[in-house]
Structure 1
Amino acid sequence: MALFAIFGTQEASSSFRHYLKEMTDEINSKSNDYILNVDEDEWKEYFVNKYDFTPLTLFPEQATVKFKGKRKIKKEQFGRVYESESYRFELSVPYTGYYFLFMLIPSTRRIHHPMVNVPSSDSGILTAEFEMYDQNEKQFEYDKKHLLDGIMANVPNINNDLQRFKADVSSTFDTVYKRKKEKVLSENSFFEKINIDIDKKTDKIFKVPIAKKKKIPEPIVDKKSTKKFTETPAMDDAFYADIIEVIYTFFKSVEKKPSTYKSKDEEGLRDYVLPTLETRYDNTSVTGETFNKGGKTDILIRYKDGTNLFVAECKYWKGEAVLHETINQLFDRYLTWRDSKVAIIFFVKNKEFSKVLATIKEIIPKHEYFVRENGSNGESSFSYIFHFPTDKEKFIYAEIMAFHFPE
């Protein structure tokens, strides 16, 4: 994470021209045989995907402020120098989108570039600091709003530039490819006219490369289940692991912000993570409070054909009985036979968080659907294998997660 002036580091037009030149050079570097034999539409789609950067979305309604501390400063008044204190605050704003866009200067812009910290990822928390020199509530609200406005002001502008760039990728490909192909055909025609043999046959198969996706690939058929009645799309291990990591990392961050979680119920806390999940995965929909089988699930990720891929429940921790009750509720009421990847997320108010984690690890193996432990994904994220309530040969992968939100 680096400190920089938001939307004020380098010209967006220059960066986007660089990408277009990179694409042009890649097209022109290919052999004549490649140009004549490659599928034009597939190659164009490759570049469209390669430069399909996710636009920025910020969530100012979820912004939080925390006190960072005080520092001594020197002031001068009427020729007299004296020492005073200042108050430092940190503003945090969740976001999704291609983080590099925060560094670019839009073609149309508002000239206000606060210094910010942004993680090098396509979702996370943007932070920025502001400082006050006296205890003035109205000044605090003004400074906070001014900083937030400065952060938000150029988001639509850079997204507009990005949209134009995406159109340029498509049109530039058409122009460059057409020009390159015409040149190749012209050369071939010339050689034929001067009786130089050209090998028109080739045993090569020209395949378009696959653009590296930032998002998890489409789900595949579950190969873990011992029983196969259907080739229904299911979540592969990489997809499941990524969802668990996103949820775990997200709520660990929320743990550090009491103002975010105080006075929030399960649904309120759940809603914080939905935007991140919604924008992260291709060919899926992410919803909260969705009917599935016999009730409403808190988080449901579905494949584009409507198949369930991931189901999760969010609860405040209220002891061993609620743990047992939540597992039964999820497995008996919400899961169908085809659901195979789930999670239960507990928000813990208890001061002694370690005792809660110990209770979870002690109680889970005693549940009637428990099969075995399956490792862990962090200090408070435990992996298990359960079986479906009416079918002991149908396994369910379940992550039990807990996060500390003391009052």
Structure 2
Amino acid sequence: MFTEPFGNLISSQAREVIAEIDSQPDEYFDSIPTEEFSKYLESKYSLDEFPTLVWEEIEMEIGETEIYGRDLPRTFDISNPNEKFKRKLVVYHIPINGNVGLLRFSPTNRYSISGMNGKLTIRNNTLDVSFIDIYNQPEKIDSDFDRTKNAIAGKLNVVKGEYDNFHKELPKFIDGEIKKRIQKINRTNDYKSKFKYPIKKKNIPAAFESPRIVKKKKIIPKPVGASNTVTNQRFITDEDYMHILGLLQDCGNNWEHFPELYKGKGEEALRDQLIFVLAPNIEGVVAGEAYNKKGKTDISIKHESTNLFIGECKIWKGPKGFLETIDQILCYLTWRDSKAAIMMFVPNQEISAVRKATEESAKSHPNFVRILDVINDGWTNYRFHIENDPGTYITLAVQLYHLPKL
């Protein structure tokens, strides 16, 4: 931890942004909107989620280690410096959320590290802070750890400020570099225009496309209950839920824009395409046709044995079929499952009537509570209560994908 100034990372990102802008042929900037290219670069060069240490879920491990006499304090009267002495090894395990790799960066400017004791080691998604209890004083070890905890939190807070400022300034930096490149192109074109003979054209593609960057996101289930309560129950956050739904919506948008992607495909094939979109972008177990309570769900995202998200895919066949789909998905849900979705494939030529019918049908369902959010014309989040339990609520998203001549 804290081995490299965060400013080094910022400088590296800036150099890569400039190199990518400069690597594009001049004609690229005539073929696509600069806003689109700017958004692409912003997505590509923004950093992953900043790491947070879950201090509320600290676990301790107490073992034994050996220490040479020469490594003991001078207050010990040691005749043989090579003699080994057994001492307690106390390790505090702190879970880490977010991009663990960012923990190697320290504040760019000089920052005091006073109060940081113990040995810091990162293993997978856990920070281990180790102490050797030389004096056999557990209270001193706890006190040393508290000082170390405060020192770590202080340094992370400073780095987080630089991280936030980087993302605040990144769009302006990218736009500025694109403008510089365009100004350079304009100067070159102005120079070329002074000649009376035509300039030889380069052999370049007829059109350019700005690729879309989708960052892999780790879905981290949060513990149910108060922070000081030990529990194995987990739930999915609203942010992660919307991230999953956003990926599904993007896939639906691609179908609407490129009909050849869904032409000739049935319900299961379309469901598989949604799974193919989710699987590489979600660090979790993404499965199709997974068993859950009373049946099999089309899509499920699990953490260990906990369902974080379940979804049902259907072809629109009218309000009656839509209500049956709601019944079906509510029957799948247990009290531990709080978030679900219905992905409705609409083959009708006119979709406006279908949007109205889904809302009216949802409101008429006996388990309906209220509308939570209308994200867009084809995506609404609802609040329902689960089957036979009016006091337990779930969030159910309904997304409509307009696929005429399905």
Aligned partner (choices 112, 120, 134) of residue 116 of structure 1: 120
- C-alpha change, 1:117 and 1:77, in structure 2 (3 Å) is closer
- What is the distance in 1 between the residues matched to 2:76 and 2:203? 90
In structure 2, what residue type is equivalent to 1:239?
L
Check if 1:15 corresponds to 2:9: yes
Aligned equivalent of 2:105: 104
Q: Could you say if the C-alpha distance between residues 240 and 203 of structure 1 is closer, same or farther in structure 2, counting changes exceeding 3 Å? A: closer
1:212–1:117: structure 2 CA closer, same or farther, 3 Å change rule? Answer: farther
Question: C-alpha distance in 2, partners of 1:245/1:206?
Answer: 36
Cα offsets for 1:337-377 (capped at 9, x unmatched): 999xxxxxxxxxxxxxxxxxxxxxxxxxxxxxxxxxxxxxx
Q: Which residue of 2 aligns with 1:29?
A: 23
Amino acid at match of 1:236: I
Structure with bigger RCO (C-alpha 8 Å, 6+ apart): 1
Corresponding position of 1:46 = 40
CA contact (8 A) 1:57 1:96 kept: yes
Show structure 1 runs of 4+ deviating over 6 A.
Answer: 231-234, 270-274, 333-339
**79-88 vs 203-212, which deviates more?**
79-88
- SS of 2:141's equivalent? helix
Q: Which residue pairs with 2:326 in the alignment? A: none
Change (3 A) 1:336 1:88: closer
Q: Which residue of 1 aligns with 2:177?
A: 176
Deviation of 1:179 (Å): 1.1
Offset of 1:178 from its aligned partner? Answer: 0.6
**How large is the Cα RMSD of the aligned pairs?**
4.6
How far does the alpha carbon of each residue in 1:114-155 deviate from its partner, in whole angstroms, 9 at most, with x for none?
6433356xxx22222111113323113212222322332212
Write the deviation string for residues 43-78 of structure 1: whole angstroms up to 9, x where unpaired.
111111112221222210111110132324314547
Deviations 1:196-242 (A, max 9, x none): 4245997621111222512277125699xx9859x999962563695
Identify the residue that residue 239 of structure 1 maps to in structure 2.
278
Secondary structure (helix, strand or coil) at the match of 1:204 reads coil
**Matching residue of 2:335:** 297
More moved, 298-307 vs 20-29: 298-307
State how far apart, in whole Å, the 1-side matches of 2:210 and 2:303 are: 40
1:307 deviates by 5.7
Alignment of 1:132-281 (within 5 A): 132-198=133-199, 204-215=206-217, 218-219=247-248, 220=251, 228=267, 236=275, 239=278, 242=282, 244-245=284-285
Residue identity over aligned pairs, in percent, reads: 16
Partner of 2:79: 81
Cα gap change, 1:329/1:160 in structure 2, threshold over 3 Å: closer, same or farther?
A: same
8 Å CA contact 1:56, 1:96 repeated in 2: yes
TM-score between the two structures when normalised by the length of structure 1 = 0.54
The answer (yes or no) to whether the contact 2:17–2:45 under 8 Å persists in 1 is: no
- Maintained 8 Å contact 1:92/1:128: yes
Partner of 2:344: none
**1:370-389 pair list within 5 angstroms:** none
Give 1:167 deviation, angstroms.
Answer: 2.6
Which residue does the alignment assign to 1:95? 96
Residues 238, 301 of structure 1: alpha-carbon distance in 2 compared, 3 angstrom cutoff: farther
Q: What is the alpha-carbon distance in structure 1 between the residues aligned to residue 119 and residue 305 of structure 2?
A: 26
Deviation of the 1:36 alpha carbon: 2.6
Does structure 1 conserve the Cα–Cα contact (< 8 Å) formed by 2:338 and 2:393? no
Q: 8 Å contact 2:339–2:396 — kept in the other structure?
A: no
- SS in structure 2 of the partner of residue 214 of structure 1: coil
Instruction: Give the direction of change, closer, same or farther, for the CA distance of 1:212–1:133 in structure 2 (3 Å limit).
Output: same
1:27–1:176 Cα contact (<8 Å) kept: yes
Alignment partner, residue 67 of structure 1: 62
Pick closer, same or farther for the CA change 1:106–1:200 going to 2, 3 Å: same
- Give the partner amino acid of 1:300: S
TM-score normalised by L of structure 2: 0.54
Contact 2:105 2:159 (C-alpha < 8 Å) held by counterparts: yes
Distance 2:188 2:167 in 1: 32
Local SS of the residue matching 1:205: coil
Kept after mapping to 2: 8 A contact 1:34/1:206: yes
> Alpha carbons of 1:128 and 1:196: their partners in 2 closer, same or farther (altered >3 Å)?
farther
Alpha-carbon shift at residue 298 of structure 1 (Å): 2.1
- Pairwise mapping of residues 386-397 of structure 1 onto structure 2 (< 5 A)? none
Give the letter for the 1:52 counterpart: S
Instruction: Tell me which moved more, 199-208 or 39-48.
Output: 199-208
What is the identity, as a one-letter code, of the residue corresponding to 2:278? F
Greater CA deviation, 184-193 or 67-76? 67-76
Q: Is the 8 A contact 2:337 2:394 kept in 1?
A: no
